[in-house]
Amino acid sequence: MELNPQQLVFYLFALLTIGSAVVVVTIRNIVYAAFSLMVTLFSIAGLYVFLQADFLAATQVIVYVGGILVLILFGVMMTSGSLDLKLKLERGQLFWGGVVSLTIFGLLLSVITNTPQWENVDIGASQEPTTRKIGEMIMKEEYLLPFEIASILLLVALIGAALISRKEVRDE
C-alpha cells in the first residue's frame, strides 16, 4: 500500500490516539494514566484537523487538554495516597467494558460503511478557518436557540458543580 505523507501523518496520529488510550486503561499507575490521557486528547485534536474542523481542534486543546485534564490531575493529587495506588481491573469490569466498547465499535462501523462517499481533504493546503462559518450559524441561522440554551446548560453545570463540591469541601 502506497502511503503519501498526509496518510502517514494521519496513521501516526491514529496510532498515537489508540496507543495512548490503551495505556490509559491498562497502566497501573494513575498519574501515568492521567498523563497518557493528555496524549490521547492531544492526538484527537490532530484527527479533528484532518476532518478540517480547525475550530474544534483548537477547542479540544483549550477545553480538554487545558481544562479537563488539569481537573483530573487535581483530582488525583487531592486524593491522599492515590499516587501510590495500584489500579487493577476486575473480571466483571473487563466483561461489561468489552460489551460496551464492542457495541460502540459496531455502531461506528455501521456509520462508516453507510457513509456514501468520503471526501479526501488536502490537509497540506491552506484552508479557510471555520470560525466565521460557526459564528454565522450560531448568530443568525438555525443554531441561535441551541446557542442560548447552551448558556443555560453551562449555568446548570456551574451551579451544580459549586453545590456538589461545596459539600465536599465542608466535610474536609
Q: Compute φ and ψ for 137, nearest 5 degrees.
A: -65, -45
Q: Which residue has the cell 481542534?
A: 57
Distance CA(43)–CA(12), nearest Å, equals 9
- Is the Cβ of residue 9 or residue 21 nearer to other proteins in the bound state? 9
Contact positions toward other proteins, by CB under 8 A?
Answer: 9, 49, 54-55, 59, 62-63, 66-68, 70-71, 74-75, 77-80, 83, 123-129, 131-132, 134-136, 138-140, 144, 147-148, 150-152, 154-155, 157-159, 161-162, 165-166, 168-170, 172
**Do residues 69 and 34 touch, judged by C-beta distance below 8 A?**
yes
Least distance in Å: CB of 161 to other proteins? 4
Query: Minimum Å distance from CB 165 to other proteins?
Result: 5
- DSSP code of 87? P
Whose Cβ is closer to other proteins: residue 1's or residue 71's? Answer: 71
Distance of CA 61 to the CA centre of its chain: 9
